[in-house]
Amino acid sequence: MKKLILILIVIVATAGLFAEDWNTAADISITMNQNAYSDNWAGGERGSISWVFNANFLAEKQLIAKVHNKNTLKLAFGQTHNQMVDEMESKYWAKPEKSTDLIDFESMFRFTLGAFVDPFASFRDETQFLDISGEETKLLNPNNLTEAFGIIKVFVKDDTQELSTRLGGAFKQYINSNLDVNTNDGGVEFVAIYRKPFAENMIKYSTNLNLYKPLFYSLSDDETNPAYNENWETVRMNWQHNVDISLTSLINLKLYVQLLYNEMVIDEIQFKETLGLGLSYKLF
C-alpha cells in the first residue's frame, strides 16, 4: 500500500508540471459504501465496507502550427472489506479484496492540416496498480500496449460538447510477467468519443466506444502453443459510459457503466456498473 500511495503522489505531481503552459484539467474523487449488523442479527447478512478512488487528468497543447498533442490519464483503485464468521460463530473482518484497479494512459498527436480529416498517431498503455493473479503481488502488471495511426475527425469541440471519431491501424502487445509467452496482434481500430455537460455543468456525461478487428496474431501459426486462442480474429468491443452529478461543490454522485466483448476471454457481453456517492475535488 505504501508503494501504491507513492505512485499516486508521483502521478499527481507530474500532472501539475503541465499546468502552466498546457490546457489542463484534473479531478479526483473517492466514494465509499458501508453497512454493519449487530452480533445478534438473526439474518445471514454480513457487514461490508467498500471504497473506490478515481482520478482523471488531461493535458493538451498545440505544440506547433501543425501538431496538436493530447494526453489523458485515468486512475481507479478500490477495495471491499467483508465481515466473516468463524467456526465459533464470532464475526471478524477478512483481509480486504481488490474490487477496482485501472491505469489507462494515452498520448495522441494530431496533425492539424486543415483538411476534412487529420492524420494522427497515438500510444496507449493499460495496466493496473497491483496484480494479484500470480503467487506474489506485482506492481504495474500486466501491460496492454497499443500503437495506432490513421485519420481523425473532430466534429465538435467547445465548452458545450465534444465529438470526435478516429479510424486506423493498431498494433497491440500483451506483456504479462506471470506468463511464459507474451503475444501481440494488429488490425483495424475505430474509436468514438463524446462528452456533454448538462444543467450548467452540474451533470457531465461522457462515452467512449472502442472497436478493434485483429488481422494478424503472433501465434496464428502455432496452434499447439498453450497460449494460442482460436477466437483471436473476432471483433472486440469496449464501450464505457460515465455520468458525474455534482450535488455540492465537494459531494458528487458517480455512475460508471462498461460493456465488454472479447471472445478470447468469454463468448458473451460482459457488463460492469458502479454507483457511488462521495467526495470530489477539481485540482485545476
Cell digits of residue 52: 473506490
pLDDT band at 19 (very low <50, low <70, confident <90, very high): low
DSSP annotation of 239 reads: E
Cα–Cα dist 207/258, whole Å: 10
Cα–Cα dist 197/204, whole Å: 4
pLDDT band at 204 (very low <50, low <70, confident <90, very high): very high
Each residue's pLDDT tens digit, 136-163: 889 999 999 999 999 999 999 887 899 9
Cα–Cα dist 215/223, whole Å: 16
In the predicted structure, residue 196 carries a pLDDT above the cut 90: yes
**Is residue 226 in some structural domain?**
no
Q: Are 185 and 217 in contact (CB under 8 A)?
A: yes
Single out the residue of 214, 210, 209, 221 nearest to residue 264, CA to CA. Answer: 214
**Is residue 85 in some structural domain?**
yes
Element holding 270 (H helix, E strand):
strand 266-282
Each residue's pLDDT tens digit, 46-94: 788 889 999 999 999 898 999 999 999 999 999 998 887 766 666 777 8
Least confident interval from 21-25, 83-87, 263-267? 83-87
**Is residue 271 in some structural domain?**
yes
**Is residue 150 in some structural domain?**
yes
DSSP annotation of 94 reads: P
Q: Are 127 and 146 in contact (CB under 8 A)?
A: no
**Total structural domains in the chain?**
1
Q: What is the DSSP string of 148-170?
A: EEEEEEEEEESSS-EEEEEEEEE
**Is residue 20 in some structural domain?**
yes
**Is residue 231 in some structural domain?**
no
Residue 38: Cβ within 10 Å count: 8
The residue length of the chain stands at: 284
Q: Which residues contact 126 (CB under 8 A, 6 or more apart)?
A: 102, 103, 104, 143, 144, 146
**Is residue 55 in some structural domain?**
yes
Query: How much of the chain, in percent, has pLDDT values that exceed 70?
Result: 87
Determine the structural domain holding residue 253 and report its residue range. 2-35+46-179+189-213+237-282
**Is residue 218 in some structural domain?**
no
Distance of CA 26 to the CA centre of its chain: 15
